[in-house]
Amino acid sequence: MFGFGKKKRPVDLEAPAADAAAAPAAEHPLPAARATEPPTTERTRRAPQPPAALSPPAVPSPLAAPQPPAAPGAGSAPPLDASAGQTPGRLAQAIAERAAGQLAEQRRGLLAGLRNGLARTREVLNADIAELVTGRKEIDEDLLEELEMLLVAADVGVPATTRIIEDLAYRVKLREVSDPKGLLEAVRAQLAEILHRADGSVRQPAPGRPQALLMVGVNGVGKTTTIGKLTKQLQAEGNKVMLAAGDTFRAGAVEQLQAWGERNDVPVIAQQPGADPASVIYDALQAASARGFDVLIADTAGRLHTKTNLMEELKKIVRVMKKIDPDAPHEVMLVVDATTGQNALHQAVQFNEAVPLTGITLTKLDGTAKGGILFAIAERLEVPFRFVGVGEQIEDLRHFEADLFLDALMAP
């Protein structure tokens, strides 16, 4: 399930090209995290198709429930029917190799897309750091100082930067890091460590319950757009999605969400403008539960993190949701706009105090050199990033995966 959503598309080895074209797998970068449902009994009875007919294995969203480790080869090949005259071992291997090749290709595609989205942040974090070390033979204090300034300029934040530089200085002293190239690798390892500390999967609902996601954030960060993009991804994974128009405040907000609902062909539960958002979301959660939906995504009005009464309203929404399902909301997702730099960190801290966050989406990475803010937030809050927004189009939402993100940001 999408960390939201329940139904993973099984690895469909019989689906031909049409399915491959529609497959959401291109949005799902993580072969390592791939988890697949066991093949159905029906599927085990059918003879497998030749590898050429394979669609890419579906990779669940990063919010998916952790799956038990699959047996070697499981998930990449169906059980084989020896009676069909195949040589099970060789065919299974061919299928697995092809699937692996497709995943590698998807990863390359995702990497290229993310690199584009991160182009401006790369200019600071990657190009400038690379330039800094070019031609240097040794690491001296000046080099470390300049590196420190670059990290701060990329909005990695003072606490994370100070820690990184202190650690590097110590390791240089111990001669664990002795040349500029090693320094670059060490910086990357430090950044990876920050991101991995903030790992964590999304809470799953009890059986038969919808998974409820509450989107929160200040005005204009991209909450509603992210809901539209996410709905598409969840549907592609086989989830029945419902939306709740919890922004009853801003003129046109309900219509904006309804437009996304129509575009994705999913129901939107709404009341009249000015209605109590807690009441709208309560009704929606009740409807989603009664009608067997897998995921409910609730929009909320943008609010300043400094306005106590508006933060109280969010707490009320959470309380009311718990009346229907004590586990809801399963995810409180903060949406922050990368272009706002350090302000995004303040927002994250204050929202987290009001309604403990379980996930973060960082939007508008495509238009900023301040993508380093992601590290500042991860360092401070240790709340996992779920997605990054790299454009205004429906497909411009990427699952956040730390190593892919670092590759997009730092690999030459």
Among 223, 305, 330, 398, binds ligand GTP (CB under 6 A): 223
Q: Identify the DSSP state of 412.
A: -
Buried b (16+ CB within 10 A) or exposed e, 139-173: beeebbeebbebbbebbbbeebbeebbebbeebbe
Shortest CB 304 distance to Mg ion, Å: 14
Place of tokens 């080869």: 73
CA separation for the pair 185, 58 (Å, rounded)? 32
Residue 383 DSSP label: P
**Measured from the CB of residue 331, what is the shortest distance to ligand GTP in angstroms?**
17
Choice between 224 and 340, CB closer to Mg ion: 224
Binding mask 156-195 for Mg ion (x = CB under 5 A): ----------------------------------------
Contact of residue 391 among Mg ion, ligand GTP, none (CB under 5-8 Å per partner type): ligand GTP
Which is it for the CA torsion 17, 21, 26, 28, positive or negative? negative
392 is an interface residue for ligand GTP by CB under 6 A: yes
Amino acid at 167: D
Quick one: 190 or 256, whose CB is closer to ligand GTP? 256
In this structure, what are the phi and psi dihedrals at residue 30, rounded to the nearest 5 degrees? -105, 85
Residue type at position 232:
K
Joined together, the tokens standing for residue 184 give: 């670059």
The answer to whether the beta carbons of residues 341 and 309 sit under 8 Å apart is no
Q: Is residue 302 near ligand GTP by the rule CB under 6 A?
A: yes
From the list 14-22, 76-84, 246-254, 290-298, the region that binds ligand GTP by CB under 6 A is 246-254
When asked if residue 300 is in the footprint of Mg ion (CB under 5 A), the reply is no
Taken as a whole, the chain contains a residue count of 412
List the one residue from 114, 147, 198, 390 that touches ligand GTP (CB under 6 A). Answer: 390
For Mg ion, the closer CB: 126 or 231: 231
Residue 220's alpha-carbon distances to 116, 183, 193, 249, 366, in angstroms, are: 23, 38, 31, 13, 16
Question: Which positions from 328 through 367 interact with ligand GTP, judged by CB under 6 A?
Answer: 363-364, 366-367
Question: Does residue 213 belong to the site contacting ligand GTP (CB under 6 A)?
Answer: no
| CB closer to ligand GTP out of 252 and 292 | 252
CA distance 336 to 222: 8
Q: Is omega for the bond preceding 56 within 30 degrees of 0, making it cis?
A: no
Task: Read off the tokens for 23.
Answer: 């497959």
In angstroms, give the least distance from the CB of 367 to ligand GTP: 5
Binding mask 122-161 for ligand GTP (x = CB under 6 A): ----------------------------------------
Question: Would you tell me the crossing angle of helices 373-381 and 180-197 to the nearest 10 degrees?
Answer: 50
Is 224 one of the binding residues for Mg ion (CB under 5 A)? yes
Query: What token pair was written down for 305?
Result: 């993190």
C-alpha pair distances (Å), 328 with each of 160, 207, 331: 33, 13, 8
Question: Per CB under 6 A, does 391 bind ligand GTP?
Answer: yes
Q: Which is nearer to ligand GTP, 64 or 230 (CB)?
A: 230
Tokens linked to 190 = 């430090």
The binder of ligand GTP chosen from 1, 65, 154, 221 (CB under 6 A): 221
* Candidates 124-132, 200-208, 233-241, 383-391; binding stretch for ligand GTP (CB under 6 A): 383-391
Residue 116 touching ligand GTP (CB under 6 A): no
Residues that bind ligand GTP (CB under 6 A): 217, 219-225, 247, 250, 253, 302, 363-364, 366-367, 389-392, 396
Residues that bind Mg ion (CB under 5 A): 223-224
